Each structure stands twice: as C-alpha cells, then as structure tokens.
Amino acid sequence: MKVQIVSDKQAGGQAGFRVFEDALQNGAKVLGLATGSTPVTIYEQLAASDLDFSQLTSVNLDEYVGLNADHPQSYHYFMQEHLFNAKPFAHSYVPDGADLDAAKATSEYDQIIAENPIDLQLLGLGKNGHIGFNEPGTDPDSTTHKVMLTDSTIDANARFFDNADEVPRYAYSMGIGSILKAKQILIVAYGEAKAAAVAAMIQGPVTPDVPASYLQTHPNVTVILDEAAASQLD
Ligand code: F6R
C-alpha cells in the first residue's frame, strides 16, 4: 500500500485528483465511485477540472434500498449533485435502490461490473473498517449483495432524514470480492475517528473483523490520509 499523508481535506482533494488524472492518462475507462463526506473534495477538484469524462463509465459502490434515484438522500442524487451535473459520463451506474427484488438487482449489478471492469476504485473508510456497506464479518469473496444496515449506521444517517423511521434499513453494496477486482484502488480517510480503522487496515492482520484489511492483498492500493487519521500508525 502506498500511503500519502496530507495536511487537510483540501490537500487530500488535490492528491486524490492527481491519482484520477494519472489513471486517465494511463487509459482508465471505468471509474468506481463512492459517496459520503470523504470524496467530496476530490469531486470538487474533478468537477472544476478540464478532464473529460464523456467517453468514460462510472460504477458506484452502493445505494439504499427503497429510495428512488431522485430522492435527495439517495446515492444517485448525491453523485448527480457532486459530480455528474458538472461532468457527465457516457454511462453512470449506481445500484437500483428502487428495485425491491434483491436477487435481480444484485445480479444485474454484478453483470454491469463484469461488463465494465473497474480501472480505479475510490473508497472511503468506515470507523469500524467497513468499505462500501461491507460491515465486519462480510465474506471477502462477496459480490453485490443486500445488506442490513447496522443500528450505528442508521443512527448516523438519521440526521439527513425528517425522522429516524424514514432512514432505509437496507442497502445494495458491491462486495469485497467485487472491490478487490478493480485494477487500482484509492482509499481516503480523514480525522481522528478513523485512526484506529486506518491502523488496522494497514498494519493489522487481514481479517473479516476489519473489511478494509483485505486491501492488503491487493497489488495497487493508494491510501490518502490526513495527520489525524494517520495518528495510530507505527
Ligand atoms: C460510501 C460508502 C461508505 C463510506 C464510509 C465513509 O459510498 O460506501 O463505505 O465511504 O462510510 O463515510 P464518510 O466518507 O462519510 O466518512
């Protein structure tokens, strides 16, 4: 794993932007994207750049089950707001949260990933070491699957909804196996709250207790951290 430490989220946005720029220069055609607060500064840089995505494909990590693409808390909507309005791709795929037939929705998404092998996958890191919605205990060979959200994730997300009952209980997520198939992975983490997960991801044993630790088995991973997130590394 190549670890790069930056001063803050803005510098992380620039460093992440350069990883995307290099990948595009090296011929990347399919970009794997994430939502959440971490990628926002990278998307700001990409949106403001003169990079052209109009011939490229994007494939997102995950989506809530039960939210339509036009729901303001859907990950579809997030991507539209933060990147796609400014930089349309030829094709952008996000799991179809409106499709309540999980077997169909997840197998269709696996088919999309198989037809569009990901050149560069961007990831954020959960405080408990999750990547995508792959919580501790997820099978490392997992493909796209339906996930029951943990109480802590539901609580963390409740602030975005009018009341806690509206927070989706399930999501569709690419699996750890799907993520590890990407040719290159960029994972980014900021802040003290991520420090323990960062240390476990990079220096701990490879274990289902820390889904991000499986990234140690991938040959091309770049990690961008601020100093607080790097503070528990030896
Ligand atoms: C987002 C995703 C999640 C987040 C992670 C970190 O698509 O799959 O794994 O990357 O929960 O979230 P933030 O960036 O909000 O701290």
Ligand 1: residues with CB < 6 A are 34-38, 61-62, 124-126, 130-133
Whole-number pLDDT of residue 89: 98
For the chain, the structural domain boundaries read 2-226
Instruction: Collect contacts of 167-170 with beta carbons under 8 A, ≥24 apart.
Output: 168/64, 168/65, 168/66, 168/67, 168/97, 169/65, 170/64, 170/65, 170/66, 170/146
Whole-number pLDDT of residue 153: 79
Tokens at 180, concatenated: 């590890």
Top pLDDT among 51 and 158 is at: 51
Q: Give yes or no for a contact between 229 and 190, defined as CB atoms under 8 angstroms apart.
A: yes
Whole-number pLDDT of residue 110: 98
Is the pLDDT assigned to residue 35 strictly greater than 90?
yes
Whole-number pLDDT of residue 111: 98
| Percent above pLDDT 70 for the chain | 100
- Residue having the nearest C-alpha atom to atom 8 of ligand 1: 132
Ligand 1: which of 123, 150, 185, 186 to mutate, judged by most atoms within 8 Å of the beta carbon? 123
- Dist. CA 80 → ligand 1 center (Å): 17
117-161: per-residue pLDDT in tens?
999 999 999 999 999 999 999 999 999 999 999 887 788 788 888
84-93: per-residue pLDDT in tens?
999 999 999 9
Where in the sequence numbering do the catalytic residues fall? 62, 128, 130, 135
Candidates 3.30.70.141, 3.20.20.120, 3.30.160.270, 3.40.50.1360; correct CATH number of 2-226? 3.40.50.1360
Task: Assign 60 to helix, strand or coil.
Answer: strand
